[in-house]
Chains A and B, each alone.
Chain A
Amino acid sequence: MYKYDEYDHAMVEARVAEFSDQVRRRLAGEITEDQFKPLRLMNGLYLQLHAYMLRVAVPYGTLDSRQMHMLAHIARKYDRDYGHFTTRQNIQYNWIKLEDAPAILEDLASVEMHAIQTSGNCIRNISSDQWAGAAADEITDPRPWAELLRQWSSFHPEFSYLPRKFKIAVIAAEEDRAAMRLHDIGIQIVEKDGQHGAAFYVGGGMGRTPMIAPLIKDFVPLDDMLSYAEACLRVYNRYGRRDNIYKARIKILIHELGADEYRRQVEEEWAHVKSLGIDPPKAEFDRIAKQFTPPALDASAPDDIDRSDPDFAVWVDQNVAAHKVPGHAIVNISLKPVGGIPGDASSAQIDLMADLAEKHSHDELRVTHAQNIVLPHVRKADLYAIWQALDTAGLATPNLDLISDIIACPGLDYCSLANARSIPVAQKIAARFSDLGRQKELGELKLKISGCINACGHHHAGHIGILGVDRKGTENYQLLLGGSGAEDVSLGTITGPGFDEDGIVDAIERVTDKYLATRTDGERFVDTFRRVGMAPFKEAIYG
């Protein structure tokens, strides 16, 4: 894992001092809320329906146990004893007092964490593959590339007042576990002539105008990655729309210009930017990469698992994934118990996961964009002990990638932008499909719920997506089918008229029944949908 050096420490400490001073001036009335807003946002502090919400960055979703314990401490000391893991691999706290924010940032800085640029019209936390460094299908660990981008984008003087927020994801495998092409910039590390480089997909995103990012450049050598990113951002900063907040994301610029014209402008800018000497030398990448050296895992560790406990076996089959080193596994901890709030964890649960990581996973944890937690480097021989500990804490729900592993935004229960509640809908769906046998029968089925058109719950990318809207003062839920945030990326299509809260659950059941009756062997829900199209499902839903 990346460890701060004296420079990284100094930068984060300077930011804490700066923000403490800004909070002081705000509390003293020296600056207006309008002037304070972008400052607090760039420090992750939102004003929600009931209180301030603080979003803490988890760069590329990677944490050690000391950092995870600190997240539990913050939940206990400053919030209501829980935190909410988000689709951008961050954690947010919903009940924060403004005057506590500087102290929280100081606590975070003590474990090399921060809330820098987790909000605001700037380059946000860089996200990545939660299985980085452990997955068998990656060509390299994407996190050193992400860390290089993190440092470049932190306190970037030119790109802190962009037309709109800017999200970057980096992956290095064919399987896309980070919804890479639904980011403003999605980078896939690829290999060409024995060298690794970055393929740049630019202009993806969700929100009210969802777009899949087109490939803008197929191979940017490591030595040029930051200057190329700088050129991409400069074209956007200069020409992205600022007249309409809903048209201000880079996806709209690229849609209006066309990918070819955007590429031409970036190339022209890059020819200039490249000459400025802003790309760090290979030695800097090597310094970072050395800190992501894979842990020493014993490849001769026993590879078999004692499956005599049937509940354990069910969990292994659903939540444990293959590790690149024999005798080891990737443990996926579901934060989606039936009746729970997707992504929420109590301080006790966060502490327990930290302890398990320290004891069994080389002190590493990951946050996933699906709002779950990963222990990336676990000996198969330890799986049973881990499962027992998780089970005791209510963390052993064996539903990874099943219909109840729902992504949901906080919705109208917390969020001032929302039009409808998301959490109760997620809970009702999970309850309706609570029978695990039924869920497994349905197989991989990614269900995603947003409480408004901003799409924080990734509804466009759900095999089944739900969008909450406000229709004449009542909550109404639209149903979308056929989206995907993975390597088979696609955008869902709305089925037709929306439903009330109970009606949407019934409609989903009709959709899944239709799928079971229509599928051929081995077909996932989304495959069947793609094969037969909307019509049969529409008929099943609306008659």
Chain B
Amino acid sequence: MVEHLQADGEEPCVTLDAFLEQSNATAVRLESDEDARALIPFLDRLKLIEVAFPKFRDGRGYSSARILREAGFTGELRAQGDVLVDQIAYMKRCGFDSFAPEKDLNPADVEAALARWPEHYQGAADGAVPIWKLRHG
């Protein structure tokens, strides 16, 4: 489920460097060239990780999201930046559960995009059962 499309006024995210220096923050922002694995020791005390998409073509954030979910992160994982309706379904599959696009998305388009795919060929971070598993039970 998409919890919300816009960030509301919670604790602001600190940068990865700042977080690693004073790790009492509960919200951190990861730039696209930063290593998500640096956060793994601290996942249980993080409420929010915001992953930057400076350009929609920069797909590093998809791997960052999966790495964080695969490491057991259960807090809010937010895609921020050049987040467009046509990428949002893939983002959700990689574990994002909130979106802070720079430009507002049309909610009807978002709903249609997220409802588009009946099933998925491969396992990812959204818990969806891959088609091969549906085939073989």
Question: A: which residues have CB within 8 A of B?
Answer: 5, 7, 10-11, 14, 17-18, 21-22, 25, 31, 35, 38-39, 121, 151-152, 154-163, 226, 234, 237-238, 242, 272, 276-278, 280-281, 283-284, 287
**B116 to A17, Cβ gap below 8 A?**
yes
Tell me which residues across on chain B come within 8 A of A234, comparing CB atoms.
63
B35 to chain A, nearest CB (A): 8
Option from A5, A21, A237, A280 in Cβ contact (under 8 Å) with B60: A237
- A/B interface sample: 19 pairs, CB < 8 A: A7-B134, A11-B117, A11-B119, A11-B121, A14-B116, A38-B56, A121-B57, A121-B59, A151-B132, A152-B122, A154-B121, A155-B121, A158-B63, A158-B94, A159-B62, A160-B62, A161-B56, A161-B62, A237-B62
Residue of A nearest to B66 (CB): A158
| B132–A284 CB distance below 8 A | yes
Q: A18: which B residues are within 8 A, CB to CB?
A: 113, 116
Given contacts A14-B117, A237-B60, contact A157 B123 (CB under 8 A): no
Contact B90 A160 (CB under 8 A): yes
Interface flags, B121-137, vs A, CB<8A=1, else 0: 11110000011111110
CB-contact partner of B121 in A39, A152, A161, A238, under 8 A: A152
Q: Does B120 contact A (CB under 8 A)?
A: yes
B15 within 8 Å of A by Cβ? no
Q: Considering the chains assembled together, what is the distance between the CA atoms of A287 and B122 in angstroms?
A: 17
Q: What is the number of residues of chain B that contact chain A, defined by CB distance less than 8 Å? A: 36
B93 contacts A by Cβ under 8 Å:
yes
CA distance A10 to B135 in the complex (A): 14
B20 at the interface (CB under 8 A from A): no
Name the A residues within 8 Å of B62 (CB-CB): 157-161, 237
Best-surrounded residue of A17, A151, A161, A163 (most CB of chain B within 10 A): A161
The reply to whether the CB of B111 lies closer than 8 angstroms to some CB of chain A is no
The answer, among A10, A238, A281, for a CB contact under 8 Å with B63, is A238
Task: Flag if A151 contacts B121 (CB, 8 Å).
Answer: yes
Partner of B123 from A7, A278, A283 at Cβ < 8 Å: A278
Closest to B134 in A: A7
Contact code string B48-72 (vs A, CB < 8 Å = 1, else 0): 0000000011111011001000100
Query: Which residue among A154, A157, A158, A277 has the maximum number of chain B CB atoms within 10 Å of its CB?
Result: A157
A17 to B89, CA, bound (A): 15
Tell me if B84 and A35 are in contact (CB < 8 A): yes
* CA–CA, A18 and B89, complex, Å: 12
Q: Which A residue sits closest to B58, measured CB to CB?
A: A242
B86 at the binding interface (Cβ < 8 Å): yes
Say yes or no: is B87 at the interface (Cβ < 8 Å to chain A): yes
Cβ contact within 8 Å between B59 and A161: yes
Residues of A within 8 A of B130 (CB): 278, 280
Separation of A455 and B115 alpha carbons in the complex (Å): 40
**Is B2 among interface residues, defined by CB-CB distance under 8 A?**
no
CB distance B59 to A287 under 8 Å? Answer: no
Q: Which residues of B contact A152 (CB under 8 A)?
A: 121-122
- The reply to whether A5 and B123 form a contact with Cβ atoms under 8 Å apart is no
Q: Is B18 an interface residue (CB 8 A)?
A: no
Contact present for A157 and B131 (CB under 8 Å): no
Known contacts A151-B131, A158-B94, A238-B60: A276-B70 contact under CB 8 Å = yes
Does any Cβ of A come within 8 Å of B38's Cβ?
A: no
A163 CB contacts on chain B under 8 angstroms: 59
Taking a contact as CB atoms under 8 Å apart, the answer to whether B119 and A7 are in contact is: yes
Whether B60 lies near A276 (C-beta < 8 A) is no
* Residues of chain B lying within 8 A (CB to CB) of residue A278: 122-123, 130
CB distance from B116 to the nearest CB of A (A): 5
* B112 at interface by CB-CB < 8 Å: yes
**Contact of B93 (CB < 8 Å), options: A121, A157, A237, A242:** A157
- Select which of A5, A155, A161, A284 is within 8 A of B120 by beta carbon: A155
Bound complex: CA of A21 vs CA of B63, how far in Å?
A: 27
Chain B contacts for A10, CB-based, 8 A: 118-119
In the complex, what distance in Å separates the CA atom of A11 from the CA atom of B118?
A: 7
- Given A35-B84, A237-B63, A272-B70, A284 contacting B136 (CB threshold 8 A): yes
Check B94–A157 contact: CB distance below 8 A.
Answer: yes
**12 more A-B residue pairs beyond the given contacts A10-B118, A158-B90, A280-B136, with a C-beta to C-beta distance below 8 A:** A7-B135, A18-B116, A35-B86, A39-B86, A154-B121, A158-B63, A158-B94, A158-B124, A159-B62, A160-B90, A161-B62, A238-B63
Q: Return B131 CB to nearest CB of chain A, in Å.
A: 5
Alpha-carbon distance A276/B70, docked complex (angstroms): 8
| Residue from A25, A158, A278, A284 with most neighbouring chain B CB atoms (10 Å) | A158
Contacts of B118 in A (CB 8 A): 10-11, 14
CA distance A429 to B131 in the complex (A): 50
Question: Contact between A277 and B123 (Cβ–Cβ < 8 Å)?
Answer: yes
| Bound Cα distance from A27 to B117, whole angstroms | 23
Partner of B136, one of A159, A238, A277, A283: A283
CB B113 to nearest CB in A, in angstroms, measures: 8
Residues of B contacting A161 with CB < 8 Å? 56-59, 62, 87
Most chain B CB inside 10 Å of its own CB: which residue of A25, A35, A238? A238
